[in-house]
Amino acid sequence: MRIVSLVPSLTEAVAATLPEALVGVTDWCVHPAGLAATRVGGSKYPDLDRVLALRPDVVLVNVEENRESDAEALRAAGVELYVTYPRTVDEALDELGRMLTALGAPAEPDWLLEARAAWADLPAPTPRRAVVPVWRRPWIVLGGDTFAGDVLRRLGLVNVYADAAERYPRPSLDELHAQDAELIVLPDEPYAFTREDGPEAFPGTPCALVSGRHLTWYGPSLAEAPTLLSAQLTTT
């Protein structure tokens, strides 16, 4: 099996399970460190000629992270795609299991079993109303029907924008201030929020800086995500 992954979290999952099969990855595939696979450009704008030159048996893509035009071009070239689109933790865990089996894994790897156990029967913390920006200039926040939203819901947060019409609303800063949130959650990706870039926009409201990888990636990081994110969400 020759696998090209255009999704960083799936790259990590395959590298941890079937490393010898991974022949191509994106420039954003930084976990695990030291990947020997060929780089094929970004998730949004991969070099399709480079992908095809690797003669992949399958290319891993995601509905949100990759462009439909690239997926169609690869299909037209005769390449098989494995498409993922989890919107909940349970969907992510099950999709990973199905994907790895389809790619040749003899059984679910230990890291996936550990992830399933980590997300089972979590304690029920006191709910807190939260706003979750994922970009600024303009401000973009996490809406409903998203994987990251389900992660935070399971950890006790009530997303103020969970019922918004858009999955990623673009409210003004004044609108964000008017939500009377108890917590602002600032991940370090896709926008790299830091202590100096983000919290200053929300004076008087506690801000939690969290790992974007553990919030948005579905792969081996899921095993440690509940513990790590819970700790980060209590640090403001």
pLDDT in tens, 13-71: 999 999 999 999 999 999 999 999 999 999 999 999 999 999 999 999 999 999 999 99
Domain assignment present for residue 117? The answer is no
pLDDT given at position 86: 97
Domain boundary among 16, 51, 85: 85
pLDDT given at position 69: 97
Domain assignment present for residue 24? The answer is yes
pTM of this structure: 0.93
**How much is the average pLDDT of 207-222?**
97
Domain assignment present for residue 9? The answer is yes
Q: What residue spans of 3-47 are helical by DSSP H?
A: 8-15
Domain assignment present for residue 159? The answer is yes
Domain, as residue range, for 217: 128-233
Kindly list the distances between the CA atom of residue 112 and the CA atoms of 4, 22, 109, 191, in Å, as whole numbers in the listed order. 21, 18, 5, 27
Domain of residue 22, CATH code: 3.40.50.1980
Q: Do residue 69 and residue 150 come from a single domain?
A: no
What does the pLDDT look like over 87-102, one tens digit per residue?
A: 999 999 999 999 999 9
Place of tokens 């990947």: 35
How far is residue 140's CA from residue 135's CA, in Å, rounded to a whole number? 5
Mean pLDDT, the chain, rounded, equals: 96
Domain tally, the chain:
2
